[in-house]
Amino acid sequence: MATLSRLLVSWGEGQTGAFDDLAPHVYGELSQLASGYLRREKRGGTLETGVLVHEALLRLMKQKPPTWKGRSHFYGLAALMMRRIILDRARRREVAQRIHQRLGPPPGKDLPRTNLTLPGHLCLKEAIQALAQRHPQAAEVVELRFIWGFREQDIAQRLGLSLPTVKRRWRLARAWLRRFLEPADGP
């Protein structure tokens, strides 16, 4: 217990190697914590306990030297990191499903032959990149709204735009992407 507190303080003070010394001391407890989170996770998750622990430790390590208020503060932040990792993965899975549901199979004749075998989300990525060349703000709105799930109000605040402008950019982007992604002999 004293060793863990000392290592946390050393890491917080920016001493090199303190994190490397700390990791073996906390790995077991973090594994138990991760295992509990993953047991409660919805079926179909592909995340493993060790991967979740390592990802949480990497995120903690990337932070500026923290000022730990103690052992419980460290474990609380590690738990928060794990929940965020699980949520991030779930969001990515949902986005991929949403893209395939909305766009269906990849587009056909109006795009180069090489795109015919790409999954729907890769075609969408290309479409957003093409949109960004002509309408950069509209592409930003698409990424924030469609991919990251932001609300229009949040997008307006984040981009420093008015709400009506965000709505116009969203309509423009949807129409442009629909035209870009529809097959030439579409409905």
Q: What is the pLDDT along the chain (187 residues), one digit of tens a residue?
A: 567 777 877 777 777 777 778 788 888 888 888 888 888 776 656 778 888 888 888 888 777 766 777 777 888 888 888 888 888 887 777 776 776 666 554 444 343 333 333 344 456 777 888 888 899 999 989 888 877 777 888 888 888 899 999 999 999 988 888 887 765 544 4
DSSP string covering 95-163: HHHHHHHHH-SPP-TTS-GGGGGS-HHHHHHHHHHHHHHH-HHHHHHHIIIIIT---HHHHHHHHT--H
pLDDT at 151: 84
Q: What is the pLDDT of residue 167?
A: 93
Tokens of 65: 């030297």
pLDDT value for 68: 72
User: How many C-beta neighbours within 10 Å does residue 41 have?
Assistant: 14
Tell me what pLDDT residue 112 has. Answer: 37
Q: What pTM does this model have?
A: 0.50
What's the pLDDT tens digit per position in 36-85? 888 877 665 677 888 888 888 888 877 776 677 777 788 888 888 888 88
State CA 6 to chain mean position distance: 33
Q: What's the mean per-residue pLDDT of the chain?
A: 76
pLDDT at 73: 81
pLDDT of amino acid 110: 42
pLDDT value of position 104: 53
In the 8-state DSSP scheme, what is residue 168? H
CB 106, CB 164: distance < 8 Å: no
The long-range contacts involving 121-127, CB below 8 angstroms and separated by at least 24 positions, are 121/95, 121/96, 123/181, 124/99, 124/177, 124/181, 127/177, 127/180, 127/181
